[in-house]
Amino acid sequence: MNKLSNEEQTLYQLLNLIEEGYLTVVNHQGEEFRFGKEGSSPNLRLIVRNSETYRHILAFASLGFGESYMYGWWDEENGNLAELAGILLSNGVYTKARGQFSLVLKIIFQRLLTLPNLVANSVKNVQHHYDLGNDFYRLFLDKSLTYSCGYQLQDTDTLEEMQTQKYELICKKLSLKPGDNMIDVGCGWGGMLIYAAEKYGVYGTGITLSQEQANLAIERIDKRGLADRLKIVVSDYREVEGQYDKFVSIGMFEHVGKGNFSVFMKKVSELLKPDGIGLLHTIGTVGLGGRDPWIEKYIFPGGYLPKLHDLTQEMYNANLLVAHCENLKPHYAKTLNLWSKNFRHNKEKIMALSDKYDLQFIRTWDLYLQVCEATFLNGNSQLYQILFCKRRQWQFETPLNFKIDKPSTKIWESH
């Protein structure tokens, strides 16, 4: 056996923490090392092609882990990145490794936590992710073009069914009724507004910072004959004016930034009428830190995952009363699993769209989707839906009952 570098030996010491699952590492010299419980599941095989992998991971932790995969330095033999990340998370390997951050990375990470999300930065950050092209997102999202956690009622639910069920659940929670005027901050391609207008007869305004999203949302609204009920505005939430009966924000708060939590909640309070009702749907965390350096650099610049008490405290400060909170953590793991399958199935079609969707881009997004799935299955990621109302007066029926019937997905088929 060849002499191992200090970095390789250190990584193997971390992998010795594995008790559940079985991992074989084939190093760059073809030597095999085994960790975990033989015969247990999952049984994975990690192939290391470049000796720089060990040093890069030890020096930069999750940033190094992600970059070395992007560069093609390592692979799981069958592409099971979610299961690989799951083993590292569930056995405490990731936590232990994170505790061994280099001083340089700790300084970088602390700087990320204190950077403000100014309006100009927010526009640039959103465009980095959401202006990749509508055709790209069509190849792994469902027909409704919904890029947020779905809601699963049955094990056999399709992605489209899960997203339609999510919209129905939110409509029930908001007690939508014909004529309600609703604002959707972070409206994406307009799925929530379209569903609420067609199913519940609401009027709505969608806010997005992505011009590509806005263009397609307006096109979809026009084709459905809803232009007299719905409008899309390209704007930062801080610049929005007016008052509304209902407020909703789905999968946008993650981009607000820690320093703007109070600004966001105060704006929500301003936008709601005195008897208004709102719902915030956001990823959260129960772990240390709300940013991952690799995600920050390559996927979501400016993102920050809140803790639940951060949200409820800022709501209280903004004179918003929390009425109900639900954690849809397992539903997001399933959603990500389906996105990931679609992405891998269509990777050749994605690469054919443009030269910018090269092999490194494909590896980056494959890792992103699968690792996120693992963090909802085995890690600290949570998905909160928080229902609230303006001021301290109770605005809801008692008892709260959000059981929904399975809605039809035909709403997305005719357009």
pLDDT of residue 131: 55
φ/ψ region of 226 (left if φ > 0, alpha if ψ in -120 to 50, else beta) reads alpha
DSSP-assigned beta bridge partners for residue 387: 279, 324
Q: Of 87-101, 121-135, 378-392, where does mean pLDDT reach its minimum? A: 121-135
Q: Are strands 230-234 and 203-208 parallel, antiparallel or unpaired?
A: parallel
Judge contact between 384 and 282, C-beta under 8 A: yes
Q: Residue 347: pLDDT band by 50, 70, 90 thresholds?
A: very high
230-276: pLDDT as tens digits: 999 999 999 999 999 999 999 999 999 889 999 999 999 999 999 99
149 annotated active-site: no
- Strand pairing category for 43-48 and 74-76: antiparallel
Q: Which of 209-213, 270-274, 326-330, 337-341 has the lowest mean pLDDT?
A: 209-213
Average pLDDT, the chain: 90
**Res. 102 pLDDT band, cuts 50 70 90:** very low
Query: In this predicted structure, what is the pLDDT of residue 59?
Result: 85
Given 171, 187, 372, 389, the catalytic residue: 372
Per-residue pLDDT band for 101 (boundaries 50, 70, 90) equals very low
For residue 139, pLDDT over 90 is answered with yes
Residue 128's pLDDT band, with cuts at 50, 70 and 90, is: very low
3-state helix, strand, coil split of the chain in percent (to 5) is 45, 20, 35
Q: Please report the pLDDT score of residue 125 as a whole number.
A: 46
- Which residue ranges form the domains of the chain, and what is each CATH number? 6-101 (3.30.1050), 119-412 (3.40.50.150)
What DSSP element (H or E) covers 325? strand 320-327
Q: Are 140 and 339 in contact (CB under 8 A)?
A: yes
* Res. 127: pLDDT tops 50: no
The band of 104, judged by pLDDT with boundaries at 50, 70 and 90, is very low
Alpha carbon distance 388, 184 (integer Å) = 15
DSSP state, residue 226: -
Answer whether 20's CB lies under 8 Å from 36's CB: yes
Q: Give the span between the Cα atoms of 366 and 368, in whole angstroms.
A: 5
Q: Percentage of the chain with pLDDT > 70?
A: 90
pTM metric for this prediction: 0.91
DSSP H helices in 50-92: 52-70, 81-90
159-165 long-range CB contacts below 8 Å, 24 or more apart? 159/335, 159/338, 159/339, 159/342, 160/409, 160/412, 161/406, 161/409, 162/331, 162/334, 162/335, 162/338, 163/191, 164/195, 164/407, 164/408, 164/409, 164/411, 164/412, 165/404, 165/406, 165/407
Pair type for strands 32-36 and 272-285? unpaired
Phi, psi values for residue 151, rounded to 5°: -130, 115
Stronger pLDDT, 354 or 113, i.e. the higher one: 354
pLDDT tens-digit series, residues 177-189: 999 999 999 999 9
Q: Take residue 59 and report the two structure tokens written for it.
A: 């020096």
pLDDT at residue number 384: 98
- Most trustworthy range by pLDDT among 95-104, 116-125, 265-274: 265-274
Predicted confidence (pLDDT) per residue in 401-412, tens digit: 888 988 988 888
